[in-house]
Amino acid sequence: MRRRKLIALLGAAAASPRLVIAQTPQKTYRVGLLSSTAPLGENSPLGAALIRVLGERGYENGKNLAFERRGAGGQLDRLPQLVAELAASKVDVIVTGGYPATLAAKQAGVAPVVSVNAGDPVGTGLVGSLAHPGGNLTGISDVSAEVTPKRLEFLKEIAPTLRRVAVLWNADDLGMTLRYRAAEVEAPRLGMVIVPLGVRAPDDFDTAFSEMTKTPPDAILMVSDVLTTLNRKRVMQYAEENRLPAIYESASFAHDGGLMAYGPDLDAIFDRAAGLADRILKGARPADLPLELPTRSSDLCRRAR
């Protein structure tokens, strides 16, 4: 009798469109992307890594995964408002690119933060220690104290007699200022003198070029952040016209026309950042996730001739 009643009920449910068997809706995980530059699209290196790595771990973009993308377009005073927009979108985690975006997201405290390319997080005060970050932030730490000496050594290899190295960096970005200081500390060991050329706005590059024309350096080291990256072609052109060896911080600069570049493998960094975001989406607290160090460096990349 019970079996006949069950069959009858199932048959009625199948026949009637008004009878719906209840299902538990699938959660949609929301990932915020915050940049000081343009919003990080799906085809950007970081955006593509997030989609690929999260896809391998059971998230499907457009189904149980959604991205909220915000970019300040170089106007850093917009960052707090952009963080507020991400909070209003109820994101589960914010992945930030660069120190200014990371600082804005950390200070707001609205969601866990995974940071990349923000410099030394201990030196900038973003966290108390790499092993025990505390607070709402984790990510990938900088290794400028290790790779900056290598960049200077590579310059020395191609120009053994060089002495004066001009360092271009965004002086308003504390994370990048620490990279400049790493060069300043290392230079005496190699018999070099650092010529500091801090910039804060696009017009400052003209001033920097004028200074180098008045008192020519022997080489250029450019520290990468939103400001210097947006003006990289001007730096490359100046170096080319004045026959100055120049080194940059990632392979993309050599592909764009720079003489050579050396730094951590950014693809590996972005993959690991995506892995940290996955752990947070699965319930881990950023305070319990140690800041990771890059384990792979890109080979010295020279411009194709």
Per-residue pLDDT tens over the stretch 203-254: 999 999 999 999 999 999 999 988 998 899 999 999 999 999 999 998 889 9
Query: Domain range spanning residue 233?
Result: 144-261
Domain identity same for 110 and 189: no
Is the pLDDT assigned to residue 179 strictly greater than 50?
A: yes
Mean pLDDT of the chain: 89
Q: In angstroms, what is the C-alpha Rg of the chain?
A: 24
CA nearest neighbour of 197 among 184, 189, 186, 185: 184
**Per-residue pLDDT tens digits for 5-35:** 444 433 443 444 444 434 445 899 999 999 9
Domain identity same for 248 and 279: no
CA distances (Å), origin 161, targets 119, 164, 211, 243: 31, 10, 21, 15
Domain count within the chain:
2
* pTM assigned to the model: 0.84
d(CA 147, CA 151): 6
Domain identity same for 99 and 148: no
Domain identity same for 128 and 272: yes
Q: What does the pLDDT read at residue 33?
A: 98
**Domain assignment of residue 21, yes or no:** no
Q: What does the pLDDT read at residue 6?
A: 41
**Domain assignment of residue 7, yes or no:** no
**Domain assignment of residue 202, yes or no:** yes
**Per-residue pLDDT tens digits for 32-73:** 999 988 899 999 999 999 999 999 999 999 999 999 999 998
Give helix 79-88 / helix 99-108 axis angle, nearest 10°. 50
**In contact, 301 and 251? CB cutoff 8 Å:** yes
**Domain assignment of residue 1, yes or no:** no
For the chain, how many residues are written? Answer: 305
Q: What does the pLDDT read at residue 17?
A: 44
Three-state DSSP class for residue 137: strand
Q: What does the pLDDT read at residue 24?
A: 45
**Domain assignment of residue 92, yes or no:** yes
d(CA 136, CA 241): 47
**Domain assignment of residue 20, yes or no:** no
**In contact, 267 and 294? CB cutoff 8 Å:** no
Domain identity same for 209 and 241: yes
Domain identity same for 37 and 123: yes
Average pLDDT for 126-140:
95
**Domain of residue 279, CATH code:** 3.40.50.2300
Domain identity same for 241 and 156: yes
DSSP assignment letter at 105: H
